[in-house]
Amino acid sequence: MADFPRRDGRKTVLGMIHLRPLPGTPFHQDGTLGATLESAVRSAVALERGGADGCLIQTVERVYSVADESDPARTAAMALITDAVVRATGAGFRVGVQMMRNAVSASLGVAKVSGGSFVRVGALVGQTLSPHGMVTPDPLRIMEYRRKIAGEDIGIIADIDSMHFSWFGGGKTTAEVAKAAAGAGADAVSLCHRDDDTTLRMIDAVRAAAPDLPVILAGHTHHDNAARLLAAADGAFVGSCLERSGWGSEIDSGRVATYMEAVRAKGGRP
C-alpha cells in the first residue's frame, strides 16, 4: 500500500462503516439497499470532515460462509456502495473493503473496480475458528487473484490477533503470525486486545520480529486511550466511539474530530 505507514509520521485513522445486510444474504430486507448506500456515504463524509484518513466498509450480515466466496448480488451491492463512497470523498481519503467472513477475492475485486485502496483480511494464514465454522484461508489463491486483476496497488491488511482471528491450535505467537502474514503478502497487520497493556506488548513483539511491518489496531480504541495506543501503532480501525448512537449507527463528525485531537495531543498527527 503506497505511503503506508505515512512518510510524514502521521498515524492512519480509518473509521468503520458497518453496513446493513446486503442483497443475496438471509437477513437482507428488500428495498433497503438505497438507504444503506446513502448512510454509508454520509458516514464517509463525516469521517473526512472530522479529519480521519479513510474508512473501511464492512459487511454485517449476521451469518456468513467461511469460504472465500460471495453471492453475486451481494458483491454487486458492495461495489455500488464503495463506488459511491469513493465519489463522495476526496482523492486522499482511503476507502477499504471487507466482505465478511473472509470473502477476500470478492473484496479485492470490488476495491479494484470501484476505486478502493485496500482490503482487510480476517484470515490470511493459518486457521481461525469462527462462530460460523473453521476459516481456512488460501493465501496462494488470494495472491494469484490479486495479480490476475492487476491489483498489486490494493493494500492487504491482515488480522493476526483480534476479534476476527486467533491462530487455531495455539503454538504461534502474535509476532510469528505477523511474520507469516507478511511472508504471504500482507502489506500491514492488524491486532488488538481489550487490555491496553496487552495490546502494547503485542505491538512491541511484532516490531521486534518485523520492524518494517506496519501495525494497525483492529479495535478497542476510544477517545481516552487513542493517544497512548497510537503512539505505538501506525494506525487504527475505529468504530463504536465514532458512531452517533452506538455500534452500527452513522458516524458523527464531531466525535471524529475529538478523537483526532486526542491522537494529535501525543504527537500522533502533526
Per-residue pLDDT at 36 exceeds 90: yes
Domain extent, residue 252, equals: 12-265
**Quick check: 114 and 82 in contact, CB under 8 A?**
yes
For residue 105, tell me if it sits in a domain: yes
Identify whether 91 is part of a domain. yes
Q: Is residue 36 part of a domain?
A: yes
pTM higher than 0.85: yes
pLDDT tens for 157-205 read 999 999 999 999 988 999 999 999 999 999 999 999 999 999 999 999 9
Percent of the chain with pLDDT over 70: 95
The tens digit of pLDDT for each residue in 42-90 reads: 999 999 999 999 999 999 999 999 999 999 999 999 999 999 999 999 9
Record the cell numbers describing residue 19, joined without a space: 453496513
- What's the rounded mean pLDDT across residues 147-165? 97
Count of the separate structural domains present in the chain: 1
Check which CATH number belongs to the domain holding 234 and give it: 3.20.20.70
Distance CA 225, CA 216 (A): 15
- Burial of 102-134, coded b for 16+ CB within 10 Å and e otherwise, reads bbbbbbbbbbbebbbbbbbbbbbbbbbebeeee
Bridge partners of 217, per DSSP, are 191, 236
CA–centroid distance for 228 within its chain: 20
Residue 149, SS3 per DSSP? coil
Name 136's bridge partners: none
Residue 269 has pLDDT above 50, yes or no: no
| Choice between 246 and 58, residue whose per-residue pLDDT is larger | 58
Task: With respect to residue 270, please indicate whether it lies within any of the assigned structural domains.
Answer: no
Whether 240 is covered by a domain: the verdict is: yes
Establish if 1 belongs to a structural domain: no
Tell me whether residue 33 is in a domain.
yes
pLDDT above 60 for 268: no
In a domain, 4, yes or no: no
Instruction: Identify residue 146 by its one-letter amino acid code.
Output: R
